[in-house]
Chains A and B, each alone.
Chain A
Amino acid sequence: DIQMTQSPSTLSASVGDRVTITCRANQTIANYLHWYQQKPGKAPNLLIYTASSLQTGVAPRFSGSGSASGTDFTLTISNLQPEDFATYFCHQSYTTPNTFGQGTKLDIK
């Protein structure tokens, strides 16, 4: 199975900050990497698909990128808003079983 290592596990930031979350795969996954936001008691919500494509309806302060090697990926949130404090997961769909990062909880500093 492909292992996804997501960091950090927790992140404290303030409204207006810019933050970055990273996800590393232990083998290439091309651009089959997606990012989700989850709020307490809710299902995850797709933010970014195929590493850098913004899902319809998602604020453009969310952006994603990936390395040429297809193993390192980042989610960046610019100008943090109060509604952005949540948990974020990465997900690889390059192979089955799909696997997820362990999550990053973003909380208010």
Chain B
Amino acid sequence: QVTLRESGPALVKPTQTLTVTCTFSGFALSTTGMCVSWIRQTPGMALEWLGVITWDGDTYYNASLKTRLTISKASSKDQVVLTMTNVGPGDTGTYYCTRSELLTYHYALDVWGQGTTVTVSS
């Protein structure tokens, strides 16, 4: 069974750095075609794609956030970390990590974590 789970702070102050960890099981990110993507849902319910890390370690980011965003593999092979610097109120939302796969799913997000809600406020 494939599962993903996000963990991170519920409250972050403006200008601080947000770090959210995705711990997954049931698949290997090293498998060709496999990816972990990050999606954010605003309080108004809009979904925003933040970025992705691929099976071979490549990363792609939403250009609107690129200078502030880093997605990386943790030392544990079953974790991916999202780091966002200099957060502001517009970064408030629910952060999801998701699995996506190229060969069958053409990068559809087939499994989602439960999400972690982050509020940016002083």
Q: Which A positions have Cβ atoms within 8 angstroms of B?
A: 31-32, 34, 36, 42-46, 49-50, 55, 87, 89, 91, 93, 96-100, 102-103
Least CB separation from B4: chain A residue: A43
Q: Is the CB of B107 within 8 A of A93?
A: yes
Cα–Cα, bound, A98→B46 (Å): 13
Q: Which of B95-118 contact A (CB under 8 A)?
A: 96, 100, 105-115
Q: Which B positions have Cβ atoms within 8 angstroms of A?
A: 37, 45-49, 52, 60-64, 96, 100, 105-115
Closest chain-A Cβ to B94's Cβ sits at a distance in Å of 8
Total A-B residue contacts, Cβ distance less than 8 Å: 62
Q: Is the CB of A49 within 8 A of B110?
A: yes
Cα–Cα, bound, A96→B52 (Å): 9
Q: Is the CB of A46 within 8 A of B46?
A: no
Q: Is the CB of A93 within 8 A of B112?
A: no
Closest chain-B Cβ to A80's Cβ sits at a distance in Å of 21
Cα–Cα, bound, A100→B39 (Å): 10
Q: Is the CB of A49 within 8 A of B46?
A: no
Closest chain-B Cβ to A48's Cβ sits at a distance in Å of 8
Closest chain-A Cβ to B38's Cβ sits at a distance in Å of 11
Cα–Cα, bound, A87→B37 (Å): 21
Closest chain-B Cβ to A104's Cβ sits at a distance in Å of 11
